[in-house]
Amino acid sequence: MTQDQARPGRRARVLAVTVAVLALPLAAARAQNSDPDSARIITSDIPRFWNAWDRMQTAATRDDSLRALFEEYYLGASPGLVGFIRLRVSSVYQLLDAIEQHPGYYSSIRPSTLRVAEFEPQIRRAFRALDSLYPDAVFPDTYVLIGRLSSGGTLTRHELLIGAEMYGLTPDAPQDELSGWLGSVLKPVDAIPHIVAHELIHYQQRYPDAEPPTLLAQSIREGSADFLAEMISGRHINAHVHQWANPRAGELWQEFLERKHDTSLSGWLYGGNDETGRPADLGYWMGYRIAAAYYRRAADTRQAIAEILNISDFDAFLDQSGVATELDAAGPESP
């Protein structure tokens, strides 16, 4: 049998085992953990990815590369990686596609991603800061993994999941491999504590589960996570969006008011490579401005944090924030 004849059977076996991995149960729910020092920060999938990478460098065929990724990375997946594969990576074929489209970039991030564990003390400080500000905080385990350049972070009911490849940027990264969107969102590894803090805030949010959400609801969801993440970690993850949006605050506010109840998020959230001429995630900026305004007006700022995390009526929250007073008066060069 020739290699070409064998390939369909080999591919079927890889797909079958991929399905088996994705069918594994997600991590069993741990008891709600209110101790910021007992939440685990798990990076064990990262060196296994680089084991796969090393095998791929000597692979004779694409099928050999697929097998290396599958055997070294997928088969030994941690519970967090199983969840990340389901939510953000999908099949080993799609992961390999991303690697083949950005080989120089993936190669350049190896030293940075292998440093992720060094940031545990900063992550832990952010956890403790939230604990001091919000007594009802809970602290899930955090898994830092390597994905396909599609997501910096997400969460399940039981854990935070962080895509380390989105936080591996160095001066050596080949710019010709990075699209406009990737070029704007990729960050150095020292941003890891801030994306963890952002996802940790998402884990605390108790909001109505309307599907699909309105632009207002989703902007507050994302922007308040940035606002509170900055409070507990010292920075948020969207400085480039704020830099673009602040001088245009007044006109963006008027546009947002017209669309705040839309369920289409285009032009404001998650635009990725489809956005041109403006950042893809302006909703983060708008939600940040709303949450920050609400916090500044509060007589009891600790209570304000609890209220930001437990919104039942987004329109009422917007009205109570007082952000309209700021943005109605914002000129084209408003800071």
Pair 164, 46: CB distance under 8 Å: yes
Same-domain pairing of 160 and 301: no
Per-residue model confidence (pLDDT) at position 27 = 47
Q: Which of 159, 175, 204 is the last residue of a domain?
A: 204
pLDDT at 258 over 50: yes
pLDDT at 141 over 70: yes
pLDDT average, residue stretch 190-204? 98
Same-domain pairing of 57 and 169: yes
Q: At what angle are helices 249-259 and 282-297 packed, to 10 degrees? A: 100
Provide the residue type at 83 as one letter: G
Higher pLDDT, 2 or 219: 219
Same-domain pairing of 151 and 270: no
Residue 179 three-state SS = coil
pLDDT at 333 over 50: no
Same-domain pairing of 251 and 127: no
Same-domain pairing of 174 and 283: no
Same-domain pairing of 254 and 167: no
Cα Rg, the chain, nearest whole Å: 21
| CA contacts within 13 A on the Cβ side of 237 | 30
pLDDT at 274 over 60: no
Short-list 84, 87, 277, CA closest to 184:
277
Looking at the chain, the whole-number percentage of residues with pLDDT higher than 70 is 88
Phi first, then psi: give them for residue 24, nearest 5 degrees.
-60, 145
Q: 11-22: per-residue pLDDT in tens?
A: 555 554 555 555
Short-list 130, 154, 127, CA closest to 143:
154
Q: 208: burial class by Cβ within 10 Å (0-12, 13-18, 19+)?
A: exposed
Same-domain pairing of 191 and 44: yes
Q: DSSP string spanning 230-284?
A: HHHHS--S-HHHHHHHGGGHHHHHHHHHHHTT-S--TTTSS-GGG--SS-TTHHH
Q: What is the DSSP letter of 184?
A: H
Q: Which of 158, 180, 204 is the last residue of a domain?
A: 204
For residue 22, being part of any structural domain is answered with no
Per-residue model confidence (pLDDT) at position 179 = 79
Task: Evaluate if pTM is beyond 0.75.
Answer: yes
Per-residue model confidence (pLDDT) at position 22 = 53
Same-domain pairing of 183 and 68: yes
pLDDT at 335 over 90: no
Per-residue model confidence (pLDDT) at position 4 = 42
Residue 145 three-state SS = strand
Same-domain pairing of 324 and 233: yes
Per-residue model confidence (pLDDT) at position 106 = 98
In angstroms, the CA 7 to CA 9 distance is 5
Same-domain pairing of 198 and 219: no
Q: Among all chains, which residue has been given the structure tokens 């953000």?
A: 88
Q: 3-61: per-residue pLDDT in tens?
A: 444 455 555 555 545 555 555 444 444 557 999 999 999 999 999 999 999 999 999 99
Q: DSSP string spanning 1-50?
A: --HHHHHHHHHHHHHHHHHHHHTSPPPPPPPPP--TTTS-EE-THHHHHH
Q: 210-233: per-residue pLDDT in tens?
A: 889 999 999 999 999 999 999 999
Residue 265 domain boundaries: 215-328
Of the chain, the end-to-end C-alpha distance in Å amounts to 69
Phi-psi region of 33 (alpha: psi -120 to 50; beta: other; left: phi over 0): beta
Neighbouring CB atoms inside 10 A of 285's CB total 28
Q: 127-139: per-residue pLDDT in tens?
A: 999 999 999 999 9
In angstroms, the CA 71 to CA 56 distance is 11
In angstroms, the CA 328 to CA 249 distance is 9
Same-domain pairing of 37 and 124: yes
Higher pLDDT, 335 or 62: 62
Q: Which of 178, 204, 230 is the last residue of a domain?
A: 204
How many domains are there within the chain? 2
